[in-house]
Structure 1
């Protein structure tokens, strides 16, 4: 039995839950890179970058190709780069007239309603 497409999409998003993995994806969208180049971009240790790459490989988002002593990593396809870019665009847009990145907190609508009623009183 095949897993549903939604389960596969959920796995993709799960693999993208780390800011470090998002940074790796963004870097690989520009050009293939080896681990030490990704260490420079992320500021993480080599072992952490390798762990993140394992997750991304497991989710079939990146693949590695041996080049002498190094492994060069690249995106499996450009779709994942578009998903990340779209998410960045989404969070960069103002939320209901707020500043980019503002997050509406639970109860904000109630506070607006209360302050509106106070102004009218």
Structure 2
């Protein structure tokens, strides 16, 4: 059986999204384009770590960078990724609520 077109690329995307730090940066970028310093401050990560994650996201085509003088501003390449992240978070929270509901019923 042939794999559906795009399955491998989608698996690669999920590998990149498999970091809570990168997910946090993407959620921050969903609200507004930002530089490394702002992202480091808001995420409470070091600037080198933020830069490393942004490099990974840029190589995956998830974020783009534009330069304003010496400042590099990062932004989402498109907002489809926010829907993927939001849906995944909603799924996890629904599962957690179901699990807690089942536990509560048996207590």
**TM-score > 0.5, shorter chain as reference:** yes
Task: Kindly report the root-mean-square deviation, in angstroms, between the aligned alpha carbons of the 2 structures.
Answer: 1.8
Q: Distance in 1 between matches of 2:50 and 2:96?
A: 33
Once the two structures are superposed, the pairs formed by residues 71-86 of structure 1 within 5 Å of their partners are 71-86=72-87
Q: Secondary structure at the match of 2:64?
A: strand
Matched, 1:16 2:28: no
Report the secondary structure of 1:32's partner residue: coil
* Aligned length, in residue pairs: 98
Higher helix share: 2
Deviations 1:13-64 (A, max 9, x none): 1111111100000011111000001101211111100000010001100000
Is 1:43 the counterpart of 2:55 in the alignment? no
Identify the structure with bigger relative contact order (alpha carbons < 8 Å, sequence gap 6+). Answer: 2
Q: Look up the match of 1:34.
A: 35
Gaps of 5+ in 1: 103-121
Which structure 1 residue ranges, 4+ long, deviate > 3 Å from structure 2?
94-97
Give the TM-score of the pair, scaled to structure 1: 0.75
Aligned ranges 1:1-121 → 2 under 5 Å = 4-95=5-96, 97-99=98-100
User: Which structure 2 segments of 5+ residues have no match?
Assistant: none
Q: 1:6 to 1:45 in 2, by over 3 A?
A: same
Name the SS for the 2:72 alignment partner. strand
